[in-house]
């Protein structure tokens, strides 16, 4: 579980671009008008959303939803707010459009099959469903953001490119690179990009489907196979844009002599009991220790390296090539294929794992 530093200039650029396009898109879906009755537009005279009529407004939008989403301060907070802020605004918004109805039970009702509904739930179902449907179509992740072509003006491809996070922030085990199919230098189609995990799942938080800090670039295994629709809350789980726990988790290994094999262990060490519990929950639900136990060959390579070079391996390499001008970071990357600086762990899969194991082996 890696940390994404949202104060980094690349992240701020990604956030600004995301806000620019998502706000214009939502205005189009709302058919938003300003106080004087004029159609709302951004200040960019070449805006590919505001200047074209290729996005249809959501028909018969419930008036309360229109009113609150047409509030520019609220909309900016929804798109750009921190995980804590969007979590709070989600509840606030719900109270505004459904006074007196508890958010989570409403979402449960709307996610039930019709024959599972109790009598009183059948009463509320149509009105809740119509508002949830409106929110899903306005914050249209699947139909717009996820479906847009990489050659278009904005899409999941663009966000992934701007974020430029090269390995999965949840597992740091798989590359999450972004690349387009090209022809004569022009982007012509989709090739590869990370998935975007909705940290607050779309099924339960339709209002947050396009919120920047709710879109965590990750590998398909962590997003689809492991986390899925599991409901996370900030009080119980780690959020990669909020918590930097790199120093609080540690990979180690034990040798199991009876079966001549090694086992990877992943432990959390933190003085803060609440944080410790959140880390434990997260490691457990992402099954990270089990994932890394599939990599016994990679671990054995490191152990063999230690056996072959009883002295510091990097020192041995440097002594063997005295003329070579490389920094410690470069030397480490060439030797082990991973990054040494924790700030750069995301650039190469297995960086955190190898860092901890190599330290345990006293190779570094």
Binding site for Zn ion (CB under 5 A): 24, 42, 47, 49-50, 168, 170-171, 219, 222
Q: Which lies closer to Zn ion via its Cβ, residue 50 or residue 75?
A: 50
Q: Which residue has the tokens 């509904």?
A: 117
Q: Which lies closer to Zn ion via its Cβ, residue 125 or residue 293?
A: 293
Distance in angstroms (rounded) separating the CA atoms of residues 311 and 29:
64
Q: Which lies closer to Zn ion via its Cβ, residue 39 or residue 269?
A: 39
Q: Choose among 291, 201, 280, 195: nearest CA to 237.
A: 280
Question: DSSP H helical segments within 36-180, as ranges?
Answer: 63-69, 72-80, 83-97, 103-110, 119-138, 156-163
To the nearest whole angstrom, how small is the minimum distance from the Cβ of residue 297 to Zn ion? 19
How large is the greatest C-alpha to C-alpha distance in the chain, in angstroms?
Answer: 81
To the nearest whole angstrom, how small is the minimum distance from the Cβ of residue 153 to Zn ion? 10
To the nearest whole angstrom, how small is the minimum distance from the Cβ of residue 220 to Zn ion? 8
Q: Which lies closer to Zn ion via its Cβ, residue 170 or residue 332?
A: 170
To the nearest whole angstrom, how small is the minimum distance from the Cβ of residue 112 to Zn ion? 31
CA distances from 251 to 41, 197, 242, 293 (A): 51, 25, 22, 11
Q: Which lies closer to Zn ion via its Cβ, residue 87 or residue 172?
A: 172
To the nearest whole angstrom, how small is the minimum distance from the Cβ of residue 200 to Zn ion? 18
CA atoms within 13 A on the CB side of 67: 6
Question: DSSP H helical segments within 46-82, as ranges?
Answer: 63-69, 72-80
Q: Which residues pair with 180 in a beta bridge?
A: 190
């Amino acid at each position: 579980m890696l940390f994404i530093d949202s104060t980094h200039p690349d992240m701020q650029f990604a956030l600004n671009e995301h806000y620019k396009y998502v706000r214009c898109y939502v205005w189009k879906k709302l058919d938003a008008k300003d106080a004087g009755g004029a159609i709302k537009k951004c200040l960019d005279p070449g805006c590919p959303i505001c200047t074209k009529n290729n996005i249809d407004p959501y028909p018969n939008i419930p008036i309360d939803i229109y009113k609150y989403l047409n509030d520019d301060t609220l909309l900016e907070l929804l798109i750009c707010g921190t995980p804590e802020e969007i979590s709070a605004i989600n509840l606030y918004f719900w109270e505004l459009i459904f006074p007196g109805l508890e958010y989570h039970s409403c979402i449960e009702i709307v996610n039930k099959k019709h024959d599972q509904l109790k009598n009183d739930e059948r009463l509320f179902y149509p009105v809740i469903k119509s508002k949830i449907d409106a929110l899903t179509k306005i914050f249209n992740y699947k139909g717009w953001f996820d479906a847009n072509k990489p050659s278009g003006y904005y899409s999941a491809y663009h966000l992934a490119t701007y974020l430029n996070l090269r390995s999965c922030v949840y597992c740091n085990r798989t590359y999450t690179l972004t690349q387009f199919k090209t022809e004569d230098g022009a982007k012509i189609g989709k090739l590869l990009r990370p998935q975007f995990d909705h940290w607050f799942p779309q099924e339960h938080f339709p209002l947050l489907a396009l919120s920047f800090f709710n879109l965590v670039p990750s590998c398909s295994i962590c997003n689809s196979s492991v986390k899925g629709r599991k409901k996370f809350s900030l009080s119980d789980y780690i959020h990669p844009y909020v918590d930097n726990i790199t120093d609080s988790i540690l990979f180690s290994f034990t040798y199991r002599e009876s079966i001549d094999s090694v086992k990877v262990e992943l432990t959390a060490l933190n003085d803060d009991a609440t944080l410790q519990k959140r880390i434990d929950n997260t490691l457990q639900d992402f099954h990270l220790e089990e994932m890394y136990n599939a990599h016994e060959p990679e671990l054995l390579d490191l152990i063999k390296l230690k056996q072959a070079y009883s002295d510091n391996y990097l020192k041995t390499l440097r002594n063997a090539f005295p003329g070579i001008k490389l920094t410690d970071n470069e030397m480490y990357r060439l030797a082990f294929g991973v990054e040494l600086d924790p700030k750069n762990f995301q650039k190469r899969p297995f960086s955190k794992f190898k860092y901890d194991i190599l330290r345990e082996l006293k190779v570094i």
